[in-house]
Amino acid sequence: MSANVFDLPDVSVRFRKNVVSARSLKYSLESWVRGQPLATHAGLSDVSLSVASGERLGVIGRNGAGKSTLLRVLARVIVPQRGLVTVDPTRRIVPLLELGVGFQPDLSGAENCLLAGTLLGLPPARIDARLEHIVGFAQIDGFIHEPVKNDSSGMYARLAFALAFDVEPDVLLVDEVFGVGDEFFMEKCLARVDALVAAGVTSVFVSHNLDFLQAQCSRLVWLDHGRLVMDGEPALVARAYRDRRGVFEN
């Protein structure tokens, strides 16, 4: 079996461009009758990439470059129209693509931990056994049995982080979510990430924070308009990216 967690040879993803919703059906039918293809744009174009076990990969690029699309392909949320995505089935993948995925507003924090934890592949007994630890990390002891719709956005984010980090992943996919929450809690989350990286967890980070990526990652890839521009040592890729954007390097 390959030592790679992910293998993506020549992967392409295209999205239909937004059209006015009231006219979208008419637009689609008229295009089909006329034999015209629907207007699309490229999310990824012929991207070839492999991620080895234990690797710490950072993904950089401007808004709309395809970073989040790539992460969703790795998480198997998006199926590419062209190219194969091979994922090691023995690895537990935890995607932090959007905080609170699986949370239901009318359920309590404890009930949502059970629901979302089950979606992440945890048995209910383990979630029950770890609930006190999750609540302690999130620092929402007095609110865990209240509906999450009554929680502040910060409490909601802390609970989502705490649950995701308690899963003990083999692979961690993180999409620009470290800007949520107070500074003290983010320091706790970053310390947890450091511990996971030190333990050899395969990690893929999408971020605009080049300093964070250079410190955390063993390799960077640079995407632009869905295409892979550069793949290599973090300092070299970050320098080339800064030079292209005209950003002064410290």
**CATH code where residue 18 lies:** 3.40.50.300
Read off the pLDDT band of 224 (50, 70, 90).
very high
Relative to beta strand 171-175, strand 202-206 is parallel
pTM, whole model, 2 decimals? Answer: 0.79
Answer whether residue 124 is part of any domain. Answer: yes
Residue 201: pLDDT above 70? yes
* Residue ranges making up the domain that contains 87: 4-245
If one counts every other C-beta atom within 10 angstroms of the C-beta of residue 208, the result is 13
Answer whether residue 215 is part of any domain. Answer: yes
Answer whether residue 250 is part of any domain. Answer: no
Read off the pLDDT band of 4 (50, 70, 90).
very high
Number of independent structural domains in the chain? 1
| Interatomic CA distance for residues 78 and 74, integer angstroms | 8
Provide the token pair at 179: 């800007």
Read off the pLDDT band of 110 (50, 70, 90).
very high
Provide the token pair at 205: 């980070």
Tell me the average pLDDT across 122-129. 89
Read off the pLDDT band of 1 (50, 70, 90).
very low
Look over the chain and give the mean of its residue pLDDT values, rounded to a whole number.
83
